[in-house]
Amino acid sequence: MSLGEPGLIETLRLEHSPPLAELWETIVSAGRVYACSQCLLRRGIGAETLRPGVTQAGAAALVASLAEEGAVALEF
C-alpha cells in the first residue's frame, strides 16, 4: 500500500500524536503532494487509485516544483 491511496492514513496511529489524517489535510491544503511515477509502477498502483490531492509525477515535475520560490520538500 501507499500513503497516496485512500484509506491507509486513516488507519495509522502514532502514540501521543494527533490523528495523521489531520496532518494529511494540513499538508494537502497548503501545497501539492506528488507520488513518484516509478514507485507507483513498481507497486502496481495506478494513478486513478490515488486519493484526492495526490498527483502522479516523475522526477522532472518534482525538480521543477522544488525550483519554485518558497518550495519545501517533505518526503516519506
Indicate the pTM of the whole model: 0.72
Residue 1: the pLDDT is: 65
2 close to 8: Cβ distance less than 8 angstroms: yes
In a domain, 43, yes or no: yes
In tens digits, the chain (76 residues) has pLDDT values of 677 888 888 888 888 988 888 888 888 888 888 888 998 999 999 999 999 989 999 989 888 888 888 877 766 6
Residue 68 to residue 51: CA distance in whole angstroms:
24
Residue 42: the pLDDT is: 93
Domain that holds residue 26: 8-66
In a domain, 22, yes or no: yes
- C-alpha cell read off for 76: 516519506
Residue 56: the pLDDT is: 93
In a domain, 26, yes or no: yes
Beta strand residue intervals within 15-62, DSSP E? 33-36, 54-57
Residue 50: the pLDDT is: 93
24 close to 9: Cβ distance less than 8 angstroms: yes
As for how many domains the chain has, the answer is 1
